[in-house]
Structure 1
Amino acid sequence: MEPGGYAWWYVDAISADGRHALTIIAFLGSVFSPYYKASGRGDPLDHCSLNIALYGPQHRWVMHERPRSCIAREAHHLEIGASALRWDGNVLEIDIEERDTRLFNPVHRRVAGKVRVHPEALNAASFALDPAQNHIWQCMAPRARVEVEMREPGLSWSGSGYFDHNRGREPLESGFDTWHWSRAHLSDGAVVCYEGERADGSVFASAIRFDRDAAPQDIELPAIAPLPRSKWSVARRTRSQIGVARVRRTWEDTPFYARSELATKLLGEEVAAVQESLDMRRFASGAVQFMLPFRMPRKAT
């Protein structure tokens, strides 16, 4: 990876009964790392992390940054500390061995188990998010079956999920001021909406439908559906066939980022959507950079 660059692999899932959800993000050159930013971003692999968020009755949140000495990677295998991701061409297997991060609490609980992501179909196409192609997004599996077997905390569930990959050649805040993203499953495929404002002031927006075989097709943008600001006052919005959407649950609420589950309507179907809004101007502020180490501490092992 070149200096200033990044890559991440993202998984989200909601349990069949709706009581549980998760997101897992493996970062190389962690785009939200205050340490990577302060270092001048000369060595992406010296700033890596595995972010794990378990939502529901037994909430856990993990994000410890680790240096190059704690990273091992091959074409289909990535180790970050004691955790690992393996791809065999059909299944993404994630072995988790971490400690959680709680503000103002010195006790870090063990978070350990296994997550398996079974894509229904794979998409090979990538999409540039800027004209210079400095930021690339690939929806690898718009639909997936996800199995969760956690030893700590004791959780076992399965549900529907999603798997994608982003990579870039420059810091995220160099390319974007804000973005809004959402994904939703349809009865015969999925829809992903991506939009925002680039750092140069230009805007972008797209809606892509993936069929059952994960083949992508651009579709007409649904109407903008405003959402209430998060508790940290992050501006949120999404897309809906009728221009209306409802926040079911806000999973993550931070000074610069919000992730939510929505009820909305797309292509004639009432759907549940996973949505995120990001404000990179806030991320770059001195106040947020001061707070971030408390939420994502750096470890030597």
Structure 2
Amino acid sequence: MHSKFTFSSSVREDVSRPKEKQESYEWWYFDALSDNGNEAVAITFLDNFIFSPRYNAECRRSIRSTLAGAADPEEPASFPAIAFVYYRDGKAIYRVINEYPASELETSPTSPECRIGNNSFSFTSAPYGTGYSVSIDTKLDRNTRITANFEWLSIESDFTANEEPSGRGFHHWNMVSPRSDVTGKITLIKKNGKTSNEINFRGTGYHDHNSDDRWLPNTIKSWQRGRIHFPDCTAVYFRYQELGSEESITNLFIARDGKLFTYNAISTAQTFSRNIFGVKYPERLQITSDDNIRLRIKQNTLVDSSLFYLRFLSEMTLSMNHGKPRKGIGISEHLSPKALRYKWLDWLMRLRVSK
């Protein structure tokens, strides 16, 4: 059995997909590292929050009903959410995971845009280029709101449409823009309306879009992915394996000079550790392409940790067949979703999610 996975890099395909099953989900992801390497932001818009106890309870119910021969409801329920994290010096300074009513979700099947509550993104064009406007306005805590306005100006993007089967039963990864110039401002506003902090941000960013109509913990065994921006190129890697699949899919991408170079690769891992929840992950990874391009990843700064997801600020070294190795700090992620199957763990996730 092989993993059912499709890839594209397409602004045109960065639109909402039809939701045919309760398990169906999609998310739009934006991240960026500051020019000085000390700060990072990560923003996710989710039409169904894949870690939501309410969403996963509904998926379990839907799967039981299907196995019993019952028909799916005409309109699957939605559990939208917004996630925003601002990091400084390897620590999460501001972290928000807020769920919203389904009535506050708006997406488009024809235009790359999404609104969840007062949070939104949209594809825009200007005389100086094209890209995404991203706006955040959500509760941080009982007494504080956090607002942020960013521009993801595309530098390397929109390389190829999806040429693989795009029907049901596939995970679709659309790496819309592996490299963007990112500018923006984060503002904290107290209950009395006064501004308590303002942060200006400038850096290099990334944007992708993932979707599937299969329940995540019944589909994915493990998924490692990451990206790093150098002055002259961006390197992106992923290793993806589905349950029941004998082999993983591993690829390395280099975005450079308006082109996306795609390489089949193998991955090797060393020095395994566990986070406080027992999730096992490699501290060292190496992604090696068929023609010996190598990306070494040292996952030495864990900045987000849960029962099923880890995010790192990682030291990465890219060695190509010419020139000196490039070295810098990138963002890497590790997903191991099997714990989402277990209802008794839902209470832990409720501690991190606001409504």
Q: CA RMSD in A?
A: 2.7
- 8 A contact 1:260–1:275 mirrored in 2: yes
Q: What are the Cα deviations for residues 229-250 of structure 1, in whole angstroms up to 9, with x where unaligned?
A: 3333322233356786433421
1:61 to 77, 92, 95: 95
What amino acid sits opposite 2:213 in the alignment? R
Determine whether 1:34 maps to 2:70.
no
What amino acid sits opposite 2:185 in the alignment? E
* Pair 1:183–1:174, CA change in 2 (3 A): same
- Give the secondary-structure state (helix, strand or coil) at the position aligned to 2:239: strand
Determine whether 1:73 maps to 2:107.
yes
1:7 to 22, 26, 30: 26
- Offset of residue 49 of structure 1: 0.8
What amino acid sits opposite 1:170 in the alignment? R
* Pair 1:130–1:294, CA change in 2 (3 A): farther
Determine whether 1:154 maps to 2:211.
no
- Offset of residue 100 of structure 1: 2.1
Q: Which residue of 2 aligns with 1:104?
A: none
TM (normalized to structure 2)? Answer: 0.74
2:78 to 34, 42, 46: 46
Residue correspondences, number: 293
- Offset of residue 16 of structure 1: 1.0
1: CA distance between counterparts of 2:253 and 2:296?
19
- Offset of residue 184 of structure 1: 1.9
Q: Which residue of 2 aligns with 1:97?
A: 137
- Offset of residue 122 of structure 1: 1.4
Q: Which moved more, 1:246-255 or 1:218-227?
A: 218-227
Q: Which residue of 1 aligns with 2:10?
A: none
Q: What are the Cα deviations for residues 249-281 of structure 1, in whole angstroms up to 9, with x where unaligned?
A: 211011221100111222332232211111111
Q: Which residue of 1 aligns with 2:286?
A: 239
- 8 A contact 2:79–2:101 mirrored in 1: yes
1: CA distance between counterparts of 2:244 and 2:46?
25
Q: Which residue of 2 aligns with 1:172?
A: 216
Q: Which residue of 2 aligns with 1:88?
A: 124
1: CA distance between counterparts of 2:93 and 2:52?
23
- 8 A contact 1:194–1:207 mirrored in 2: yes
- 8 A contact 1:120–1:144 mirrored in 2: yes
Q: Which moved more, 1:165-174 or 1:229-238?
A: 229-238
- 8 A contact 1:183–1:190 mirrored in 2: yes
What amino acid sits opposite 1:110 in the alignment? R
- 8 A contact 1:96–1:114 mirrored in 2: yes
Determine whether 1:21 maps to 2:53.
no
- Offset of residue 23 of structure 1: 0.4
**Structure 2: gaps (5+ residues):** 1-18, 63-72, 189-196, 289-293, 320-324
* Pair 1:80–1:17, CA change in 2 (3 A): same
- Offset of residue 36 of structure 1: 1.0
- 8 A contact 2:56–2:340 mirrored in 1: no
What are the equivalent positions in structure 2 for 1:147-296 lying under 5 Å apart?
Answer: 147-152=183-188, 153-213=197-257, 215-221=259-265, 223-226=267-270, 228-237=273-282, 238-240=285-287, 245-267=297-319, 268-296=325-353
- Give the secondary-structure state (helix, strand or coil) at the position aligned to 2:265: coil
* Pair 1:288–1:109, CA change in 2 (3 A): farther
**Structure 1: gaps (5+ residues):** 102-106
- Offset of residue 121 of structure 1: 2.3
* Pair 1:182–1:243, CA change in 2 (3 A): closer
- Offset of residue 128 of structure 1: 7.0
2: CA distance between counterparts of 1:245 and 1:175?
26
Q: What are the Cα deviations for residues 121-151 of structure 1, in whole angstroms up to 9, with x where unaligned?
A: 2133448799975101011111111112012
